[in-house]
Amino acid sequence: MRRRLALLVSAAMALVLVAFLVPLALLLRAAAEDRAVAAAAAQAQALGALVATADSQSLRLSVEQANVDGAHPVTVFLPDGTVVGARAERTPAVRLAAQRGSFTVAHPDGREVVVAVQGLPGGTAVVRSFVPEADLRRGVARSWLVLALVGAGLLLLGLAVADRLAVAVVRPIRTLAAVSEGLSAGDLDRRAPAGAGPPEVRAVAAALNRLAARIRDLLRQEREAAADLSHRMRTPMTALRLDAEGLADPAEAARMLEHVAALDRALTAAIEDARRERGAPACDAAAVVAERVAFWAVLAEDQGRAVRTELDPGPLPVAVSAADLAAAVDALLGNVFAHTDEGVGFAVALRGIARGAALVVQDDGPGFDPAAGARGVSGGGSTGLGLDIARRTAESTGGRLTVAGSRVTLELLTDP
């Protein structure tokens, strides 16, 4: 925008300068021509007065002196055919002036000035002066050069003023862009300066600040709602714990209590995560995935499922919290247990990539319904939110989730 404003101002100023300087240059040239012709005419008229009053010898001396001191050659054509002064032919203009009076004639190489002196005993004398083209243009080139320098100076001054004006407009816009980038990165405390820039930019800054405050309020309400929902789940979980403690088989009771304890930890983590302000989370994907695979491996053993793992050794840092990554892994593995028959095996692979890690979960079942993966859509009677949790976790790091048959790939990056 800064360059475009400078180009716009330079084009406008160039048009104004051309409209102003070109007529002025033509006027200066015409003034120089008129000045030279007027000087020649005045000299010719002065000698015309001598032609009418002086004798031939005095006239000859005066004309010779005028040719020595003057800038233009002067010739006097007397009625008797005598020519006094500079050598010159009796041109048609001289013959015409003897009949019709004084005038000026333009020639390709200059101007011819003829002055008729009437009332002489023998007829009409004509005083002729010639102004060369160089005299007509004397001083014009220098004047045009001065005008060109003035125009260039005014253009540079206009560009400098336009650049300062563009900076005053562009700098607040760049600040707004930086604030927007900060907000998109999750820094909801960023605010745009409200008093910088023209009124339109200030209005945009105020609207952006209101939007940031509204987003922060909505996120706070969402966190509180999620925490309240998680807290309300504690009541049925307590009942589940009591039922587990009342089982007759101690081993079965212990196993159920262990699952209830895991559920309690998950609820506690969900409440803490919902109430926590988002910062710049990070975790070791290798450690989290290994821990969650070990957890699900116990259930897989009970159901006769073969578990194949290929986990790169850590650390594999990714830009997501351990709790969020664990929830994503649980969602993917939970889908395997929920949508395949007992005894169907699965494989979990984790490998490092250029900017993070890639988690691959693949089961030996028939694969996902093509409609699966959209939020709230499931082909197996579930809520359809499992893959969406994994997808949002990947996208929060700048990665992505891809589904190909029974193979799900979760790309997690080190920086969003």
> Do both 216 and 244 map to the same domain?
no
Q: Domain total for the chain?
A: 4
Tokens of 38: 């007027």
* Chain mean position to CA 23: 39
The SS3 call for residue 283 is strand
Which residue type does 316 have? Answer: L
Are 223 and 310 found together in one domain?
no
Please indicate, yes or no, whether residues 134 and 153 belong to a single structural domain of this protein: no
Domain containing 107 — which CATH number?
3.30.450
| Confidence (pTM) | 0.45
The H-assigned helical ranges of 56-109 are 56-69, 92-100
For 232, the enclosing helix (H) or strand (E) is helix 199-232
Instruction: Please tell me whether residues 186 and 225 are part of one structural domain.
Output: yes
| Domain final residue, candidates 138, 169, 193 | 138
Residue 100 to residue 95: CA distance in whole angstroms: 9
Q: How many CB atoms lie within 10 A of CB 152?
A: 11
Same domain, 86 and 146: no
CB 303 within 8 A of CB 364: no
305 Cβ neighbours under 8 A, 6+ residues apart: 342, 343, 344, 345, 346
Q: Parallel, antiparallel, or unpaired: how do β-strands 283-284 and 317-318 relate?
A: antiparallel
Same domain, 7 and 130: yes
Cα 274 from Cα 229, distance rounded (Å): 10
Q: What is the pLDDT, as a whole number, of residue 1?
A: 67
- Among residues 343, 344, 348, which one has the least CA distance to residue 367? 344
Please identify which residue in the block is written with the tokens 């562009």. 170
Domain of 306? Answer: 280-413
CB 307 within 8 A of CB 342: no
Q: Which residues of 92-101 are buried (b: 16+ CB within 10 A; e: fewer)?
A: ebbeebbeee
Residues 244 and 349 in one domain: no
DSSP state of 54: S
Are 114 and 102 contacting, i.e. CB atoms less than 8 angstroms apart? yes
Q: Which residues pair with 307 in a beta bridge?
A: 346
Last residue of a domain, one of 219, 252, 276: 276
One domain for residues 95 and 165: no
Q: What is each CA distance from 329 to 278, 296, 317, in whole angstroms? A: 20, 10, 16
Domain identity same for 8 and 92:
yes
Tens-binned pLDDT, residue by residue, of the chain (416 aa) = 677 777 787 788 888 888 888 888 889 888 988 888 888 888 888 888 888 777 778 878 888 888 777 777 888 888 888 888 888 888 888 888 888 888 888 888 888 888 888 878 778 888 888 888 888 888 888 888 998 898 888 888 888 888 887 777 778 888 888 888 887 777 777 888 877 777 888 888 888 888 888 888 887 777 777 666 666 776 677 777 777 777 788 888 888 888 777 777 777 766 666 555 555 568 889 999 999 999 999 888 888 889 999 998 878 899 888 888 888 898 899 888 888 888 899 999 999 888 889 999 999 887 765 444 443 344 444 434 568 888 988 888 888 999 988 899 999 988 76
**Structure-token pair, residue 246:** 């009342």
Write out the H or E segment, with its range, that includes residue 181.
Answer: helix 140-184
* Residues 237 and 295 reside in one and the same domain: no
Domain boundary among 219, 242, 276: 276
Exposure string of 221-248, with b = 16+ CB inside 10 Å and e = fewer, is: eebeeebeebeebeeeeeebbeebeeee
Q: 133 and 13 in one domain?
A: yes
Distance CA 143, CA 340 (A): 94
Residues 195 and 220 in one domain: yes
pLDDT, position 156: 86
Q: What is the model's pLDDT at position 276?
A: 56
CA 237 to chain centre: 56
Q: How far apart are CA 405 and CA 360, in angstroms?
A: 12
Q: What CATH number did the domain enclosing 312 receive?
A: 3.30.565.10
Nearest CA-CA partner of 362 in 340, 384, 380, 391: 340
Alpha helices in 318-410, H assignment, sequence order: 322-339, 386-396
Buried b (16+ CB within 10 A) or exposed e, 363-396: bbeeebeeebbeeeebeeeeebebbbbbbebbeb
